[in-house]
Chains A and B, each alone.
Chain A
Amino acid sequence: MKYKECNVVCTMHKMHCSSACLLKLHIRDGKIVKITSAGDIPRENSWKSDNSIAPIQRRACARGYAELNHLYSPDRVKYPLKQTIERGNPRGFKRITWDEAIETIAQWYRSMEVRKDELGYYPILDKGGITPYLGTCISTFGNPSGGNVNGAIHVALGDKGKVKGNSPMDIFNSKYIIVWSNDPTATLPYLSYILIKAKENGIPITFVDARYTESIGALATGKNGVPGFILVRPGTDGALMAAMAYIIYKRNLHDEEFIKEYCFGFYPNDTVTSHSTGFDPVTDEPYKGKTYKIPKGESFIEYLETLEKENGSYEGVLKWASCITGVPIEVIEKFAIEYATVKPSFIFSKYNGGAQRTHNGLYYSWMMIALSAMTGNINKRGGGFGELRGDDGYEVKFPQFEKYKSAKKYKPILVSQFALNDAIISGLDGRTSAQLREDVLNMNSIDLGENARLYIEAYIRGDTSGNIFNQTQNINKRRIAWSKLKHIVSYERNLSPTAMWSDIVLPFQSIFENRCNFEKHSSAVSDVFVLNGPVDAMFEAKPDAEINRLIAKKLNIDGFEINTDYISFMKYQWSKAEINPEYKEINSDIKLPDFDEIIREANFQLPVPKEKLPIVLGDFKPGEFTTETGRINFYSPFLAQRGRAVLKINKAQYVPLANGAEKVILDGGVTGRKGIKYRLQFITPHPFNKANATYDNVPTLRNLKPHSVEMHPEDAKIRNIDNGDMVYVYNDYGCVKLPARITATVSPDVVVIPQGSWYRPSLSETYEAYFDSDCDGIAEKHIVPVDVGGCVNTLTEDLNSGILDPYIDGLGLNAGGALCEVSKEKPI
């Protein structure tokens, strides 16, 4: 087939990595038959464009090309489905008409009206459906990708909306790049190329990680005696940072002037009268004018001195950190000195960083802010505190698209996403009854009364939530929790585990079907692009907004009419579009393309030279941050006063995992409730061939790297495991069965199970798990199926991490660093 026979439409790959890569869809007879990306331009004279990073060709990764098989996957949900047997059983799904599906859901809503009158809210957990437009319902708080990071930003730097990391191009202003617990080759592929350019420009790079990654292979250089790859035990990153902070302080390499001007809580007895520009998120009162004093023993210096006292001496502290983290003493020392003396140093971990997706992730992220603050790198060009922003500070402004013409939304009651199992079972999500009552009264003006409990009796999973059955912790407990829900509805595209556990599944359209709209800001540069779905809706799939409209119509509710004349609306948007006037100072010739061109190219970028990149933290005057103190907090009076830190610690410090590396070092593991000693820490990184739980059903991606548990030859040998053997990985929470891949790239005592594989209960093999399914604090025995899909959340504990406070985005995920055991024989 010749190229010319195809009609080419440019779009973007809308995926939660936010890379927004350009896809060129080659269309024949109304079907996408080939996919290429931004690099697919005529070969002649393409060198400059191919190799430029500002503007950059937003080249797609393997996941972009796999959309061909993802879109045209035989397990597309083609028609509305109704479960006729028990949840989770694919044999029970029967095709029904849209009319029947909508009528059934409307009926459920009607039956919930009685409960709403009794409770004062709909006992429906709704993520993307219409319930929030009918009245108060329930939604979740907590952010699996970056809750712990966001929490650290909130308490240390202030309102997340006002604080941004430096932009990716700013790394070219750095003299030393530290990538901490992040594998951009898997999670931010565009960044790999920018980092390669930085490396080839001679900027040294050090990686800190709990495992070897391809990023390390291609990018790590090391610097001045500091290796390119520093290996830490999972969950102990904070101990390495504590030792670095200690060394920097003891050697007087900290930036005293900066700390005194900008920070709070570094020195004992710190007192400040706030000039904050922020407001208390709970009371809405301005912080300005209030006085804060650090309690005795809570300052950063006192923490560092305590480390010295506990370990006897300077050498003792280094020995302590080395013992816990596994990093040699001389590496810790050189690394600390190098980071403190080479300025500016760029440090980043970003959302995708694995270390922040652990139970102590808040403190890991806070320590990173602390390190970059005490060295003065935090607000400098070429510096930074761990985050990257997604744009270069400029944008094309135009009116926004309103999904529904006139529907009004009610504020939902928020419940912890990570304690949802408990919330469904017991009505509490980790907050005390009094805290829950107070929060709901303040936020929703509903009094849950004495002994407050929440009722969650149905779940609507619309377009805005992910594959929640699969992607939050403790699946075996979730099976029990979900069995208590009366109704579960999913809008889904493939038969994911969430869909599999639903009563009604409604097929919805993919990003390639029947839509067109503008989007802004890929993760690489400031830009505008077009999400263009040129193929007709497949089978009976509908857009999620249309599904909502149908349900609303059935319930006689107006306001859900949707804007479907995409092109006229986009023409209107583009007619009002303008570039920030300040951008003219960077490029006075810049002109917006005309409408036809932006639709055709689907790409317009506003590149910024490295010396003119905006540095958001640099714009804050000393004392005028939006934190309560107006300063960069090493200790948070707000957090202490709210009392919502899950681990009850309100300052930057190292917090060991309850069952983590220390237990392996000291006791060789932990004996669980099952009576078995778990000796291996497991980590759950993002693999390059999935985007969280998306794509596990796509064979082309699966074939690139079959799902497996990766383990070191030493650990495999003790357990008599060979490469490719089917093995069982288990702990108190459950058991997964998958092939073993023996590789020296994984540390001894650590196993790697990439996250995102779909849970699949075995029909024949069972396992005795121990967990607390009735929320009385005592684990009891449960016979559960072995998970032959290899979903790591069969093994993870459903714990809240970070800050359990619905007023701020600071609740994080507990995904890695816990313990398990592996065997060839099926455990009991």
Chain B
Amino acid sequence: MMQWGFYFDQTRCINCKTCVLACKAWNHERRGDSSIHPFFTWEKDDRYNEPSDYENLPGSDGGINYSEFNKYCMKENWRRVESFEYGVKPPEVYTINLSISCNHCDNPACVEICPTKYIYKEEKYGIVTIDESKICLSCGACKKACPWDSPQFYDDIGLYKKNDPNTPKMTKCDLCIDRLEEGLKPACVAACIVRALDAGPIDELKSRYPKYSEEALGFKRESFTKSGLRIGPNIIFKKR
């Protein structure tokens, strides 16, 4: 089995979050609420015909109805950029950014904990992804088990009653396996303005970036699954 992973250059990241949106611009049709609020249905929805109709929408505030329009957008962040602030006041301050999605780990904590085998590690690229033939119970155990917040829900599952069929289902990064199959780079990697992201077979990445680091500020590599296995995230860095 080949194992794919990511490379992230922490010295280059400018926190522009292009990777975050490039991911969404490619994968938004697979957001968790796409069947509840399909992307193009608003076009035929009479409630959006005239601005006066916006008033009748829930959460209307007389202007741009952010909460209503947000329904048609991907809320899950399969890729995220975290920013860590250091210092007390300028000019002696700096921020360090960490762009991260799923690390497609050797021993994924989410796979181990999932009660229904909804998440699994596929064979060809070692990608941790979803088995659509199984069921997600929306239990949130995967989200808790993952040290890097990779399993994502479009809404806070804590707001839903137990066994509510409308509870959001988990979605996550699958390294754009559809794109890899076409010989393309993952959407986030292809998008990075400062070329701080790369993806590929992890051994290939290690030889492409021989001075790589296992660690980066804000990233905790040594993490373990519930049963005590070393998780082994497949990501390497150029550290700040």
- B52: contacting residue among A37, A91, A697, A745, CB under 8 A: A91
Q: Are A74 and B52 in contact (CB under 8 A)?
A: no
Q: How many B residues face the partner with a CB closer than 8 A?
A: 68
Is B144 an interface residue when CB atoms closer than 8 A count as contact?
no
Is B239 an interface residue when CB atoms closer than 8 A count as contact?
no
Q: Which of A61, A539, A699, A745 has the most CB of B within 10 A?
A: A699
Task: Categorize the interface residue count of chain A.
Answer: 35 or more
Is A718 an interface residue when CB atoms closer than 8 A count as contact?
no
Interface residues of B in 62-112 (CB under 8 A from A): 62-66, 68-70, 72-75, 85, 87-91, 93-97
Q: Are B178 and A700 in contact (CB under 8 A)?
A: no
Q: Are A36 and B191 in contact (CB under 8 A)?
A: yes
Is A72 an interface residue when CB atoms closer than 8 A count as contact?
yes
Q: Are B90 and A746 in contact (CB under 8 A)?
A: yes
Q: Are A189 and B22 in contact (CB under 8 A)?
A: no
Q: How far is the CB of A769 from chain B (nearest CB, A)?
A: 20
Of A224-232, A478-486, A726-734, the one touching chain B: A224-232
Given contacts A36-B187, A217-B95, contact A90 B18 (CB under 8 A): no
Q: Are A747 and B62 in contact (CB under 8 A)?
A: no
Contact indicator per residue, chain A 404-426, by CB within 8 Å of chain B (1) or not (0): 00000000000000000000000
Is B193 an interface residue when CB atoms closer than 8 A count as contact?
yes
Q: Which of B50, B61, B200 has the most CB of A within 10 A?
A: B50
Interface residues of B in 31-74 (CB under 8 A from A): 39-40, 42-43, 45, 48-52, 54-55, 61-66, 68-70, 72-74
Is B119 an interface residue when CB atoms closer than 8 A count as contact?
no
Q: How far is the CB of A352 from chain B (nearest CB, A)?
A: 15
Q: Are B17 and A760 in contact (CB under 8 A)?
A: no
Q: Which of A35, A41, A78, A789 has the most CB of B within 10 A?
A: A35
Of A92-100, A294-302, A445-453, the one touching chain B: A92-100
Q: Are B190 and A39 in contact (CB under 8 A)?
A: yes
Given contacts A3-B178, A212-B95, contact A37 B22 (CB under 8 A): yes
Q: Are A747 and B90 in contact (CB under 8 A)?
A: yes
Name the prevailing secondary structure of the B interface residues: mixed
Given contacts A212-B95, A745-B95, contact A193 B184 (CB under 8 A): no
Given contacts A72-B39, A218-B194, contact A1 B17 (CB under 8 A): no
- B191: contacting residue among A39, A69, A217, CB under 8 A: A39
Given contacts A37-B191, A65-B25, A72-B72, contact A748 B64 (CB under 8 A): no
Chain B hits for A59, CB < 8 A: 18, 191-193
Contact indicator per residue, chain A 45-77, by CB within 8 Å of chain B (1) or not (0): 010001100000001111001101100111100
Q: Are A36 and B190 in contact (CB under 8 A)?
A: yes
Q: Are B63 and A789 in contact (CB under 8 A)?
A: yes
Chain B hits for A62, CB < 8 A: 16-18, 20-22
Contact indicator per residue, chain A 682-693, by CB within 8 Å of chain B (1) or not (0): 000000110000
Q: Are A42 and B21 in contact (CB under 8 A)?
A: no
Is A591 an interface residue when CB atoms closer than 8 A count as contact?
no
Chain A hits for B29, CB < 8 A: 1, 33
Is A696 an interface residue when CB atoms closer than 8 A count as contact?
yes
Chain A hits for B18, CB < 8 A: 59-62, 65, 189
Closest A-chain residue to B14, C-beta based? A185
Q: Are A703 and B50 in contact (CB under 8 A)?
A: no
> Chain B: residues with CB nearer than 8 A to chain A?
11-18, 20-22, 24-26, 28-29, 39-40, 42-43, 45, 48-52, 54-55, 61-66, 68-70, 72-75, 85, 87-91, 93-97, 178-179, 181-185, 187, 189-195, 200
* A-B pairs, 9 with minimum CB distance: A699-B70, A65-B25, A185-B14, A65-B21, A231-B91, A90-B51, A39-B190, A760-B63, A62-B21
Can you list 10 A-B pairs, Cβ within 8 angstroms, ordered by A?
A: A37-B190, A72-B43, A90-B51, A93-B50, A93-B51, A189-B14, A189-B16, A227-B91, A495-B64, A745-B93
